[in-house]
Amino acid sequence: MRGYVPPDPEGGVSKEQFAVVYAPRAKRHRFSANCVEIVANREQAIDRSEAAANRYPAKVLGPSKSSEGQYIYYLVEWLTC
């Protein structure tokens, strides 16, 4: 995947997770940690999503630390209901 910091294979911190992501623009591929709510499973992500509030279910990879020192998550895929 181009444009993201790969997870450290020995660190075990970054991993794929289900989440609800605040995304006013759907074209973004990385999100600040404060825009991401990690949930336990796919069903919870779908149940907690609110399209009217720009909160969408997704599978994300992270957290990773950006070059600016912020924690970010990368979009793996948007989930469909």
| CA terminus-to-terminus distance, the chain | 25
DSSP assignment letter at 6 = P
Predicted confidence (pLDDT) at residue 21 exceeds the cutoff of 90: yes
In this prediction, residues 13-25 reach a mean pLDDT of 92
Give 30-77 pLDDT, tens digit per residue.
Answer: 999 999 999 999 999 999 999 999 999 999 999 998 888 899 999 999
Strand (E) positions, the chain? 15-22, 30-32, 36-39, 55-65, 71-78
pTM score of the predicted model: 0.83
> How far is 54 from 51, CA to CA, in rounded Å?
5
Please, which residues have CB within 8 angstroms of residue 15's CB and are 6 or more apart in sequence?
7, 61, 62
Q: Residue 53 is encoded by which pair of tokens? A: 């509030």
pLDDT band at 1 (very low <50, low <70, confident <90, very high): low
Question: What are the structural domain ranges in the chain?
Answer: 15-78
